[in-house]
Amino acid sequence: MIITIFGPPGSGKGTQSSLLIAKYNLMLISVGDLLRNIISGNSELGRKIKDTVKSGNLIQDEVICELLRDQLVLMNDSFLLDGFPRNLNQARFLTQVLLERYNRDVDIVIELQLDDKVAIDRLKDRLVCLDCKSIYSISSFKDNDLVCMKCKSTKLERRIDDSDLSAINRRISEYYIQIKSLREYYKDKLLTVNANLNVGQVKQEIENKISCNLV
């Protein structure tokens, strides 16, 4: 089974992806994690990507597609894509590369739908563990005792693209521009989910819709 999940910033793609790969025994390709790994390497490409991400702009399709192609070499035919595709050009590329490699296309497309105000509130409050990538709300910690509940790391930080409200608004606006064509492209495979709910409720709604889709 090949699944892709998309939604506006703050919709919980990373959290739900982690739950889905555990539930359905899938491998994970997270484009965001791949980019953050490149940024942390402090190469020339990493510095360019960092500047682009920090401003709230999107990375060039050529860079993203090449990263994905490299990752697919490591995958079997059961995986989840978090953060890809983000536009129609990337979706067409994904169809082509999946047909070449697996003679199939994406099976299920999940769209997490979220109110803008909720998205902004979540992003302003978001912390990410640099070691295990777990995501938290800063308000869930007492007395600034920032320790990852999963791996016990103290390396919890805000993402660089969450630090500026104008950058957040730019990312949300760009998402809504691109999502229209993606909905049309994947209309026969699309499952829409209310991401304003809590994590457990969103997880249950996704699993219910996947079960119905697989019957």
> Contact at 8 Å (CB) between 104 and 92?
no
- Per-residue DSSP letter, 59: P
User: What's the whole-model pTM score?
Assistant: 0.82
Question: Does 126 fall in a domain?
Answer: no
Residue 9: pLDDT above 70? yes
Question: Does 122 fall in a domain?
Answer: no
Known binding-site positions for ATP? 10-15, 126, 197
What's the domain range around 203? 2-114+163-214
Residue 54: pLDDT above 70? yes
The total of structural domains in the chain comes to 1
Confidence of residue 19 (pLDDT cuts 50, 70, 90): very high
Q: What is the mean pLDDT of the chain?
A: 88
Q: How far is CA 10 from the centre of its chain?
A: 9
- The b/e string for 59-95 (b: 16+ C-beta within 10 A; e otherwise) is beeeebbebbeebbeebeeebbbbbbbbbeebbebbb
Question: Does 140 fall in a domain?
Answer: no
Residue 162: pLDDT above 80? no
Four-CA torsion 183, 184, 188, 192, nearest 10 degrees: 20
Known binding-site positions for AMP? 36, 57-59, 83-86, 90, 159, 171
Residue with the larger pLDDT of the pair 62 and 56: 62
Question: Does 27 fall in a domain?
Answer: yes
Per-residue confidence (pLDDT) for residue 128, from 0 to 100: 86
| Residue 8: cis peptide before it, omega within 30 degrees of 0 | no
Per-residue confidence (pLDDT) for residue 157, from 0 to 100: 85
Residue type for position 161? D
Residue with tokens 């059961």: 78
> What span, in angstroms and rounded, lies between the C-alpha atoms of 120 and 8?
10
Q: Which two tokens stand for residue 111?
A: 């769209």
CATH number at residue 106: 3.40.50.300
Known binding-site positions? 10-15, 36, 57-59, 83-86, 90, 126, 159, 171, 197
Over residues 113-117, the mean pLDDT reads 94
Question: Does 156 fall in a domain?
Answer: no
Question: Does 147 fall in a domain?
Answer: no
In percent, the amount of the chain with pLDDT more than 70 equals: 98
Residue 198: pLDDT above 90? yes
Confidence of residue 190 (pLDDT cuts 50, 70, 90): very high
> Contact at 8 Å (CB) between 133 and 14?
yes
Question: Does 152 fall in a domain?
Answer: no
Confidence of residue 56 (pLDDT cuts 50, 70, 90): low
Q: What is the CA angle 109-111-112, rounded to 5? A: 145
Question: Does 19 fall in a domain?
Answer: yes
In percent, the amount of the chain with pLDDT more than 90 equals: 48
Residue with the larger pLDDT of the pair 93 and 128: 93
Residue with tokens 């510095």: 47
> What span, in angstroms and rounded, lies between the C-alpha atoms of 58 and 14?
18
